[in-house]
């Protein structure tokens, strides 16, 4: 198990939580961590799908933990009954329940890793599984040694090597009879398809791993670019429509980082071609985005919080800059006797913006500056007492233009939150 030790040594943690069934992979994982004297506990989910066999699996792991004084975390539920009442895919629901349980065990700890016994054969099956599901480059790249707090130290070890190790070291395990049922796609791939391909090409597994590694390297490059793109979209709170013509794999990963599922991408492309203020409603977005709204050459990310927010800082300065920007207002201290504050919903208030000669409403000024209608109500304006000073990042009230001969000024700097 030297390969496993190499991976573990690269990803040291204060504690490991081993996801264990009673299968050979899990039992070898348990004894590997035991042999390395690593700090670990064990987590097991009993779905009660196989009657006494399910109970025997849980009992075997529980007794093993008791023997070696290892903490044991167990969750028991009747998944069959839940599926009967609520519907759903058995394997998908089981996976969701399992990883939710692991997440609860980790809690807020940043130095705890979940460890699974996924091995090289699982990796090959995953390649074909994602190929059938048209999962794209990310799916074909397969599982990672460490991702999302989940460590997989056996990824470069074959199933045959694991079984040999268990037999050589007298490690007991239990077989899950459902793994022999070809009605599940992964089982059909393992039991039927791969053996057939090996007859045609004995080195098919090695070739899949080579292709998978190439996909993984390409994915890493795309993912780094996607992180940059998603960060830009999040900061500016809109997606430039021209960027929707970029590489499809990059778009998929960038949207996933915004917790927007790939199934929405086609709708988003159609939205980019629609008229202004058309929108796509997002469901259960973990980052709080409720919808995407098209306006001119952008698609805006609308969240539960107001879509525009600012803070500001105030400091006295002794001179005016050579050039002014709307990110900073310079005010006459004699005109600012009260508390400065940002207020919303002042669309019908009016003033004469610097550079113009006539009065305009806040709504009209925002509209002239390309601010879409759905953002205007939330856009703040700066007040002192009952006097409107200006609109952050848009314009200053001409009445507050500072006199160049003053000895000092108040510099108000706006920062988008």
User: Which CATH topology does 310-416 take?
Assistant: Phenylalanyl-tRNA Synthetase; Chain B, domain 3 (3.50.40)
pLDDT in tens, 312-343: 999 999 999 988 888 899 999 989 888 999 99
> How do residues 37-48 score in pLDDT, each as one tens digit?
999 999 999 999
Residues 32-38: contacts with CB under 8 Å, at least 24 apart: 32/1, 32/4, 32/5, 32/153, 33/115, 34/68, 34/70, 36/5, 36/8, 38/8
The model's pTM = 0.66
pLDDT in tens, 91-141: 889 989 999 999 999 988 889 999 999 999 999 999 999 998 877 788 899
| pLDDT score at 326 | 84
The reported pLDDT for the residue numbered 183 is 85
pLDDT-above-90 percentage for the chain: 64
What was the pLDDT predicted at 354? 93
* Sequence ranges of the domains in the chain: 2-200, 212-303, 310-416
Beta carbons within 8 Å of 61's beta carbon, 6+ residues apart: 20, 21, 22, 26, 30, 42, 44, 72
pLDDT at 45: 95
pLDDT at residue number 395: 94
The predicted pLDDT at position 306 comes to 46
Q: How far is CA 191 from CA 159, 206, 411, in A?
A: 13, 18, 72
- Overall fold of domain 212-303: Chorismate Mutase Domain, subunit A (1.20.59)
The predicted structure's pLDDT at residue 55: 95
Q: Write down the pLDDT at residue 144.
A: 92
From the list 312, 194, 292, 288, the residue with the least C-alpha distance to 244 is 292
Question: If residue 74 lies in a helix (H) or strand (E), which one and from where to where?
Answer: strand 72-76
DSSP 8-state code for residue 397? B
- Give burial (CB, 10 Å; 0-12/13-18/19+) of 65: buried
What CATH fold (topology level) applies to the domain 2-200?
Rossmann fold (3.40.50)
Task: Decide: 234 and 259 in contact? Cβ < 8 Å.
Answer: no
Q: Which stretches in the chain have pLDDT values below 70?
A: 304-309, 416-417
Using alpha carbons, select from 268, 257, 260 the residue that is nearest to residue 284: 260
């Amino acid at each position: 198990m030297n390969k496993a030790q190499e991976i573990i040594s690269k990803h040291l943690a204060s504690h490991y939580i081993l996801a264990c069934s009673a299968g050979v992979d899990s039992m070898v994982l348990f004894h590997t961590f035991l042999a390395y004297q690593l700090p670990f506990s064990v987590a097991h989910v009993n779905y009660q799908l196989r009657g006494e066999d399910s109970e025997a699996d849980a009992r075997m792991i529980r007794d093993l933990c008791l023997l070696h004084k290892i903490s044991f975390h167990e969750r028991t539920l009747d998944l069959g009954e839940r599926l009967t009442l609520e519907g759903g895919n058995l394997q998908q629901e089981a996976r969701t329940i399992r990883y939710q349980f692991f997440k609860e065990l980790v809690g807020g700890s940043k130095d705890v890793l979940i460890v699974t016994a996924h091995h090289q054969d699982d990796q090959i099956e995953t390649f074909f599984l994602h190929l059938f599901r048209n999962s794209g480059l990310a799916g074909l790249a397969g599982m990672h040694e460490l991702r999302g707090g989940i460590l997989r130290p056996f990824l470069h070890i074959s199933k045959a090597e694991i079984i040999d190790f268990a037999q050589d070291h007298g490690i007991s395990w239990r077989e899950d009879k459902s793994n022999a049922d070809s009605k599940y796609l992964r089982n059909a791939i393992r039991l039927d398809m791969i053996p057939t391909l090996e007859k045609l090409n004995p080195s098919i597994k090695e070739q899949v791993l080579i292709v998978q590694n190439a996909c993984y390297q390409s994915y890493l490059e795309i993912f780094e670019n996607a992180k940059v793109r998603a960060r830009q979209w999040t900061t500016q709170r809109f997606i430039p429509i021209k960027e929707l013509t970029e590489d499809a794999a990059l778009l998929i990963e960038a949207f996933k980082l915004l917790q927007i599922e790939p199934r929405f991408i086609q709708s988003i492309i159609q939205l980019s071609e629609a008229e202004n203020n058309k929108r796509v409603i997002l469901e259960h977005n973990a980052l709080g985005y409720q919808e995407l709204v098209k306006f001119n050459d952008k698609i805006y990310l609308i969240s539960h919080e107001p879509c525009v927010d600012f803070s500001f800082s105030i400091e006295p300065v002794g001179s005016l800059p050579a050039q002014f920007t709307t990110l900073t207002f310079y005010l006459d201290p004699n005109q600012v006797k009260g508390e400065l504050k940002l207020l919303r919903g002042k669309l019908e208030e009016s003033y004469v913006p610097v550079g113009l000669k006539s009065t305009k409403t806040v709504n009209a000024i925002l509209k002239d500056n390309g601010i879409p209608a759905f953002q205007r109500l939330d856009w703040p304006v700066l007040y002192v007492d009952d006097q409107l000073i200006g609109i952050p990042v848009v314009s200053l009230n001409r009445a507050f233009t500072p006199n160049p001969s003053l000895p000092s000024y108040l510099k108000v700097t706006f920062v988008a939150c």
